[in-house]
Amino acid sequence: MPDRPQGYRVPARMFHWGIALAVLLMIPAGLTMTREGLSRPLQDTLFIFHKNLGVLLFPFILARLAYRLTHPPPPLPDSMPDWQKRIARLSHVLLYTLLILMPLSGFTRVRAGGFPIELLDWLGFGPWIGKSETLAKMAQGLHYAGAMCLIALLTLHVAATLHHALIRKDSVWPGMWPPRG
C-alpha cells in the first residue's frame, strides 16, 4: 500500500506551484538587474517587474502561510529515516521564513531609499517608511543575504525532490505535483 496516498490538498499544491513560478522569475530578474553594464531601459523594466511582482506576491505568501498553519501537511513517507524527516521539516520552515523576509526586506530597501513602487503608488498607498540611508543599507544587506540563502536552499530542495522522484520513487513527488491520485 502506498504510504501517504493523499498527498497535499489542491489549494496547497496551487499555492506551491504558483509561488514557485513567481519566485523562479524573481530570482533571475533580481540577479540580472543588479549587474553592471546593463542598458538603462532593460534595467528599469526589470526593476519595475521585480518590485511589483514582489509586492503582489506578498499577500499570496501570507495566505499560503495561513492555509498551511490551519491545514497540516501529509506525513512524510515511513521509509524516510528520522534525520531526513527533521531536515525536510527544517528546510520547509526556512523556506517559509525566507518567503516572508524577501518581500519585507526588498520593500524596506526601496522605500527607505526613497524609490517608487509603481503598483502601490498607483493604488494611492503612502510610502509607510521614511527615507533613511542607514535603514536602506541594512535592508539591502539582508535582501542580498536572504537571496543567497534562498538560492542555496532551493538547490537542496530541488535535489531532494529529484532524489525522491527518481531514486526512491516514493510518494513525495506525486504528493505535490498537480494531478492527485
Which residues are at the interface with ligand HEM (CB under 6 A)?
16, 19-20, 23-24, 26-27, 30-31, 34, 50-51, 54-55, 57, 68, 73, 76, 88, 92, 95-96, 99, 102-103, 106-107, 109-110, 117, 140, 143-144, 147, 150, 154, 157-158, 161, 172-173, 175-176
Where would I find the beta strands (DSSP E) of 48-123?
A: none
Gap between the Cα atoms of 100 and 95, Å rounded = 9
Gap between the Cα atoms of 180 and 9, Å rounded = 9
- Measured from the CB atom, the residue of 1 and 161 that comes closer to ligand HEM is 161
The distance of closest approach from Cβ of residue 65 to ligand HEM in the complex, given in angstroms and rounded to an integer, is 9
Place of cell 501570507: 62
The distance of closest approach from Cβ of residue 78 to ligand HEM in the complex, given in angstroms and rounded to an integer, is 13
| Pair 33, 43: CB distance under 8 Å | yes
- Measured from the CB atom, the residue of 36 and 41 that comes closer to ligand HEM is 36
The distance of closest approach from Cβ of residue 81 to ligand HEM in the complex, given in angstroms and rounded to an integer, is 14
The distance of closest approach from Cβ of residue 123 to ligand HEM in the complex, given in angstroms and rounded to an integer, is 14
- Measured from the CB atom, the residue of 1 and 162 that comes closer to ligand HEM is 162
Q: Is the dihedral of CA 59, 139, 91, 26 positive or negative?
A: positive
Neighbours of 35 (CB within 10 A): 9
The distance of closest approach from Cβ of residue 129 to ligand HEM in the complex, given in angstroms and rounded to an integer, is 11
| Pair 171, 4: CB distance under 8 Å | yes
- Measured from the CB atom, the residue of 41 and 88 that comes closer to ligand HEM is 88
- Measured from the CB atom, the residue of 32 and 41 that comes closer to ligand HEM is 32
Residue 76: φ, ψ to 5°: -70, 160
Q: Quickly count helices (H) and strands (E) in the chain.
A: 6, 0
